[in-house]
Amino acid sequence: MKIVIIGQGYVGLTISAFAGAFFDVVGFDNNQRIVDQLNSGISHIEGVDSSSISSLISQGRYRATSVGTDLADADIVVIAVPTPLTIDRKPDLTFIDAACRTIGENIAKPILVINESTSFPGTLRNYIKPAIEKYSSSPIAHAYAISPERVDPGRGDFNQKNTPRLFAGLTPEASTKTREFYSRFCDNLVEVSSPEVAEAAKLFENTFRQVNIALVNEFAQIAHSLGISVYETLDAANTKPYGFMKFTPSAGVGGHCIPVDPTYLAAVAEEHGAPATFIRRANEVNLEMSEYIVRRVCTDNDGNLQGKSVLVVGVAYKPNVADVRETAAELVIEHLRRKGAVVSWHDDVVGNWKGESSAPLQGADIAVVVTKHDGVDEKKILASAPYVFDTTGKVKGAKGL
Ligand SMILES: NC(=O)c1ccc[n+]([C@@H]2O[C@H](COP(=O)([O-])OP(=O)(O)OC[C@H]3O[C@@H](n4cnc5c(N)ncnc54)[C@H](O)[C@@H]3O)[C@@H](O)[C@H]2O)c1
């Protein structure tokens, strides 16, 4: 069987590496630089070792391409392309549409199409299937299924094999084929009654995190105003053995999922006349966190950041990855600069970002820790400035939430 995976980013390349052990995999990506890099055996994704890509290439089990006609003899095509928000924060399905075009224009026999990209309920049935049909030169009865991706890049304990995977086909035949495919490299497959349930479950999982993070971020502000430790209070609450799940405060949410997916759910809810008040407000609270943090830093520094050198420590959206998509550090830096601070940042995992390079971890008036990678020494952070504000709860001895 030949599997084509459209999109060779965090999701697509991770699947390629697992599926490559059992199938011939072609990774299709429209970014030629990524394709060339992958074909020379270099992975650009944390959690996918270059050695595993080189090994698959040398066994003839994997190659990357940006040529649409390479899809022609595929048996299964998996869609793993971005699903961001438009400038006015609405679901943006243009990447999905382009993937459907690639499939429609290049595949002339019935195959199984699986969508792994996150989107709102109804995307497979009402958007992907009609789009592929629109781009096909003649009617082809493809099988369609959804299996939302749950990968957490950089995570060691859960991976494609041991993370339960939801799936549903548009037809029983599509469900059966989808189970056969994933069961080769995933231990626990959970079939649900419709693609819409699988699509909604994925959005709800991430909305659950977004709302709880917003709640704990709001609570951090309440705890500070009461003069008590948010961390001690959360640890105390966490001694309850049931009915409580601990989330920790932060500078906000980042990455491609938590800041984006709940807005997909809110958009479809509002389209159907259902409320999405929690989701909308949670988003606002998380976005406002950066401003709150800068206010706290400013207050602690005589209410004036004008001309002060501020080092933001950690600009990746979470520890131990180089991913800066939707990172809260961006808003923290923006608010600091608005107050006249001279801002640089230190993050050797990210290295270069927005035309700037990681600055040395030293010599600032103020340091604000947004993300603490495991490899960054706590003592060095504390020594980098006379005043250190930590948003992570990991730098003991610093000021913080
Ligand atoms: N990153 C995660 O942790 C994660 C987890 C679960 C679900 N998801 C979802 O999976 C989907 C993909 O996310 P990702 O993080 O892998 O994105 P990514 O940006 O890392 O990778 C997407 C890749 O698709 C390529 N691409 C874009 N349009 C294309 C097209 N028309 N044809 C071929 N290639 C194209 C890009 O060049 C890029 O390499 C999104 O819907 C996302 O919400 C992501």
Segment 38-83, tens digit of pLDDT: 999 999 988 899 999 999 999 999 999 999 999 999 999 999 999 9
Ligand 1 contact, 151 CB (< 6 A): yes
| Cα-based distances in Å from 335 to 10, 297, 371 | 30, 11, 17
From the CA of 323, how far away is ligand 1's center (Å)? 13
The closest residue, in CA terms, to atom 24 on ligand 1 is 7
Residue type, 327: T
Q: What average pLDDT does the chain have?
A: 96
How is residue 381 written in tokens?
């952070």
Residue type, 87: I
From the CA of 378, how far away is ligand 1's center (Å)? 34
DSSP at 105:
H
The pLDDT assigned to 85 comes to: 92
Ligand 1 contact, 182 CB (< 6 A): no
Ligand 1 contact, 95 CB (< 6 A): yes
This prediction has a pTM of 0.93
Q: What is the mean pLDDT of residues 304-308?
A: 97
The pLDDT assigned to 88 comes to: 87
Classify 26 as helix, strand or coil.
Answer: strand
CA angle (74 as vertex; 21, 188 as ends), nearest 5:
45
The pLDDT assigned to 165 comes to: 97
The pLDDT assigned to 42 comes to: 97
Sign for the pseudo-dihedral over CA of 98, 104, 106, 107:
positive
The pLDDT assigned to 242 comes to: 97
Mutate-to-test residue for ligand 1 from 149, 151, 260, highest number of ligand atoms within 8 A of CB = 149
The pLDDT assigned to 290 comes to: 98
The pLDDT assigned to 353 comes to: 97
The pLDDT assigned to 328 comes to: 97
The closest residue, in CA terms, to atom 36 on ligand 1 is 7
The pLDDT assigned to 152 comes to: 82
On whether the CB atoms of residues 102 and 68 are closer than 8 A, the answer is: yes
Confidence of residue 246 (pLDDT cuts 50, 70, 90): very high
From the CA of 375, how far away is ligand 1's center (Å)? 27
From the CA of 116, how far away is ligand 1's center (Å)? 9
The pLDDT assigned to 126 comes to: 97
Sign for the pseudo-dihedral over CA of 346, 318, 199, 192:
positive
Tell me, yes or no, if 257 is annotated catalytic.
yes
The pLDDT assigned to 232 comes to: 97
